[in-house]
Amino acid sequence: MLEWNSHEDLANMGRFCGCRPDKGQPCRIFEVDYYAKAGAGELADCINGDYRYIIIDYGEITGQGFLECARCDLKVIVGSLSEWQAETFLEIAERQEKRDKSWKFAAAFGSDETRKEIEKRFRISVQRIPYSIDVFAVTYADIGFFIKLLRI
């Protein structure tokens, strides 16, 4: 998991979990390597390494992050449909009509009514991300979500 933004969420998570890696070194939690504030060097190491999947968190999907994301095999826009956060998600959905259909959408919060309205209005599918009390636990709902998400 590469954090390709300046939010420092992965560094904070690593510290909380007792991991304090040096720059460029991952924090390993439950057989997943997390690279905080990753860049091209870390990505190259991962591509040349022994990883089955590489997940890149670009943060907000604007400008350069959008261009870099467009090169990925699977592109997933994750957002929130809560009233105070839906505007950004809607802006991206509006631009979807100008993109190829390889982009997928998922939302963690917001009503099913809002999700269905967005699907109808923008002719896209928005998958509901299952709620999780423990981010490191994998439930049957999570597995079902990822199976559906990874269908290409």
Q: How confident is the model at residue 5 (pLDDT cuts 50, 70, 90)?
A: confident
Please, what is the average pLDDT of the chain?
81
pLDDT tens for 127-137 read 999 988 887 88
pLDDT tens for 83-108 read 777 777 777 777 765 666 778 889 98
Span of 17-21, 45-49, 97-101 with lowest mean pLDDT: 97-101
**According to the model, what pLDDT value does residue 149 have?**
84
**According to the model, what pLDDT value does residue 56 have?**
85
* Bigger pLDDT: 41 vs 97: 41
Q: How confident is the model at residue 65 (pLDDT cuts 50, 70, 90)?
A: low
DSSP codes of every residue in 138-150: --HHHHHHHHHHH
The answer to whether residue 27 scores a pLDDT higher than 70 is: yes
Q: What is the mean pLDDT of residues 14-30?
A: 78
**According to the model, what pLDDT value does residue 24 have?**
62
DSSP codes of every residue in 53-119: ---EE-SS--HHHHHHHTTSSSEEEEE--STTTHHHHHHHHHHHTTS-TTEEEEESSS-HHHHHHHH
**According to the model, what pLDDT value does residue 21 have?**
64
Q: What is the mean pLDDT of residues 65-83?
A: 78
